[in-house]
Structure 1
């Protein structure tokens, strides 16, 4: 199997949840003012079953629009909030008013508890929120609603609804066409990795270090961990030569085609022969990493892929940086020098 050209992936970056590279990590922070986040990402909490099979208490919404949306939903489906509920708020139909998209789990009792997800859209009208027809069929994978931003609904496609900690298979954007949700863009996990690397490259080139810093820790939340990355993330690109090497390496590899290794890995490399540090520059993406749910500072997150970037330095030494793809964004897991002769 041959992967698409990395250059072609750039065309998807602007509209596929990666955007400028930082929005992917912001999750529901991009929703309208006053929204209160109900779900806590895919952090693993042993007291809860985030697959939706176990009812559990949720915090009060504290938001009049969301409370109105829930009231409409309870009238349409009295048991809608029996399982996990998540909301996205924003102007979906581009009429200047905030709409609400609700994702919720459903289940049936029996020998097993079968769970799924349902997605409903409530559009703001003069008379209040109006419930639209069920939009669940618009999603090929189990949907996880992220946010409404730029007139689009951003959604992750999960491998299954019934798993407590499912992997993400794809990243999608939908628009409201007047009758229903229409998918307008998508990214695979490898496309997402490359889009994120390019976004980091662009931020470093522009000197926007504040955008890069959140990705130089091992998990999305600040962690009081003992590893070197969490202790001093700002030191990673303090060296100008390392910064330039990262920028150049991502730029070179973005023009290459990914090859497939043993189904789960994607690989690209280029050998530079001139300059101060000749040698191999390489990118490897692992779609089934062994460290699928690492624990850092007592918190675990589902890792959808890992990516390792390598480039040569002077004196026969190579440098590598390894990232985890968590919630659609890259987070640094390891970086160090090593002898290129090993």
Structure 2
């Protein structure tokens, strides 16, 4: 099994987020990776750096103008005489136009963002690009014959859509991995998202496609972020009808209830008979997570890894959420150890 990570993740650091009406330090912080790396080292696994990939590959799932915005956003911010972190102050909500990309920097910032919780700092683009390279390298490892590969991605990615960022995510690492597997010759790929928060960006990217099955287990969007997507009646459109499947669960869900849903999801996933699997691995389903409301214990993460491994599929595991920083390493290692 391959373990892939880039130290450039630490370039995305600083700023604050607007969380449930309060401006607070970001829950998504570089220390998350430090704890995961420590757990990987204790397990005796060796971490490799990804190679470099052309930015054109990012446009396989993201809009080119959106990529150009991310690449130059903070430089444009500094050109206005500003420093520090960028957060949007307005969004094109109901009744406003979305068919035209505004020229001004502040307008474009709100146009491409869907929340005020994902600050852009000077190093965000380089960190997000390196994170995407980790996912692409993990997909390449699986295409080359590895049974499994783990991409320690930071920033995470599953909230980033075709042309939008939010939820700490700027480039959709899981979608890039799935697309890389497709471009490598696999006809059927599945994405399983087990993060507490619905992977709205992955859903957006594959909404009208029938070559990537997207399945997500997450907190009920009636009360949980990202709120406006993730309901069970969202099934895809056009050719993608039926290829998007959401399984929202209520606050307080414990392992017994979670496992019952997981087993049903994995049964349906196996029936699809994908040639490879991408897992959006969020461990914020942990009972001690500060921004999530499930009640899985640390002992439950190996059970999750065992069930994924039992599918017998070539698998790319992409790191997403998990904000109980002191426990994140052990919880991630619990999944990976059982899988490996």
- Using the size of structure 2 for normalisation, the TM-score is 0.26
Greater relative contact order (Cα 8 A, min sep 6): structure 1 or 2?
2
Point out the structure with the larger helix share: 2
Greater radius of gyration (CA): 1
Q: Which has the higher strand share?
A: 1
- What's the TM-score once normalised by structure 1's chain length? 0.26
